[in-house]
Amino acid sequence: MSLAPASGPASATAFTPRVFSGIQPSGGLTLGNYLGALKRFAGYQGGGAETIYCLVDLHALTVWQDPERLRQQTREAAAAFMAAGIDPARSILFNQSAVPAHAELAWLLSCVARVGWMDRMTQFKDKGGRDRERVSLGLYAYPALMAADILAYRATAVPVGEDQKQHLELTRDIAAKFNHDYGVDFFPLTEPVIEGAATRVMSLRDGTKKMSKSDPSDASRINLSDDADTIAQKIRKARTDAEPLPGSMEGLKDRPEARNLVNIFAALTDESPDAICARFEGQGFGAFKPALADAAVAHLAPITGRMNDLMRDPAELDRILRDGAARADVISAPIVEETRRIMGMIPKR
Ligand code: AMP
Ligand code: TRP
């Protein structure tokens, strides 16, 4: 797994190699989350860097959440992480709100970030829509909290899907401005790690839209909780075109739906998209879709099964998250304390 160098480009400080990433527990996880994030997260374990994975419940609150459902979805996301191979003994797995560093550093960094930077965030423009005056202040400030998540651990590498690239660039801008304004070399310029065939899994109904847990159409996505029949049916009904598959990805430039299905196939089976094209060259979707459905079910069914097993013991999931939070606190509390000192607060001790 390629990891970024442990120090920022202009930095003399050698930062401890640390991988950090987060997922919002604001609904069931999708195949997009799995291929773009979860599946890759597990691969960083044992690669010489500490791995820290966070269920960002404070981010979820930026839009209304039913309290009991949020709690349940947080447990479900924890179960999905573990079912996808994240081992809480080798990684730190926790929920964001249980570690005070996140909210505290978010405030400190929101005094470094500029309003003009926030105004450029396309995710806010998309989510805020036309009703921008009425969305929560948290939704606007969200990228500063995300920067705090990462910088509270001085994380050096952050694996994410393509949609988070702009937020990671903002995190680097905030870190650089902090270092510059206070004349320190304290925060690393974190590297985004956006790699693989599935950095942007698209909707099954519209190849120009991202597959998302918040899409009103359930047929647009595969949920990690879907059973084998549902997965097969959704793939069978996925929008495609009437052309046969070409011998390489070159031929799929103007065929977003077809390209998406080939990318999903490749990411599921750890092959290259070109290899998938070569295998199905000249064949139509009547042949391709059943093969894709088989691959998806073979890959996802064991994960769903493990997830369901883990969900049977919510007290154990809570215990694992609390243990992760205690370990996350040990790393992040001194970093936030040092940030406070640098910014001019009287030390706590
Ligand atoms: P979210 O569900 O928005 O909290 O996203 C959690 C992680 O999954 C982030 O790293 C996203 O970039 C990634 N992700 C979400 N949707 C997709 C998608 N359709 N394709 C690839 N990655 C995704
Ligand atoms: N904003 C990310 C998303 O919606 C989730 C997230 C929050 C995150 N904090 C993070 C991802 C820190 C990586 C690192 O997908």
Q: Alpha-carbon torsion 253, 195, 62, 204, what sign?
A: positive
What's at 233, amino acid-wise?
Q
Evaluate if pTM is beyond 0.95. no
Calpha distance 193→191 (Å, rounded) = 6
Atom of ligand 1 nearest to the CA of 27: 2
- What residue owns the CA closest to ligand 1's atom 8? 33
Backbone angles phi, psi at 79, to 5 degrees: -65, -40
> What is the model's pLDDT at position 1?
52
348 torsion bin: left (phi>0), alpha (psi -120 to 50), beta (else):
alpha
User: 167 CA distance to ligand 1 centroid (A)?
Assistant: 13
- What does the DSSP assignment read for 312-344? T-HHHHHHHHHHHHHHHHHHHHHHHHHHHHHHT
What one-character DSSP code corresponds to residue 302?
H
Mutation pick for ligand 1 pocket among 163, 190, 220 (CB with most ligand atoms within 8 Å): 163
CA nearest neighbour of 76 among 118, 32, 8, 23: 23
State if residue 149 touches ligand 2 by the CB under 6 angstroms criterion: yes
For 51, the 3-state DSSP assignment is strand
Residue 171 CA, ligand 1 centroid: distance in Å:
17
Exposed (0-12), middle (13-18) or buried (19+): which is 305, by Cβ within 10 Å?
exposed
Residue 158: beta bridge partners? Answer: 192
pLDDT tens sequence for the chain (349 residues): 556 544 445 566 889 999 999 999 988 899 999 999 999 999 999 999 999 999 999 999 999 999 999 999 999 999 999 999 999 999 999 999 999 999 999 999 999 999 999 999 999 988 888 888 899 999 999 999 999 999 999 999 999 999 999 999 999 999 999 999 999 999 999 999 999 889 999 999 999 999 999 899 999 999 999 999 999 999 999 999 999 999 999 999 999 999 999 999 999 999 999 999 999 999 999 999 999 999 999 999 999 999 999 999 999 999 999 999 999 999 999 999 999 999 999 998 8
Q: Using most ligand atoms within 8 A of CB, pick from 59, 63, 126 the residue to mutate for ligand 2.
A: 59
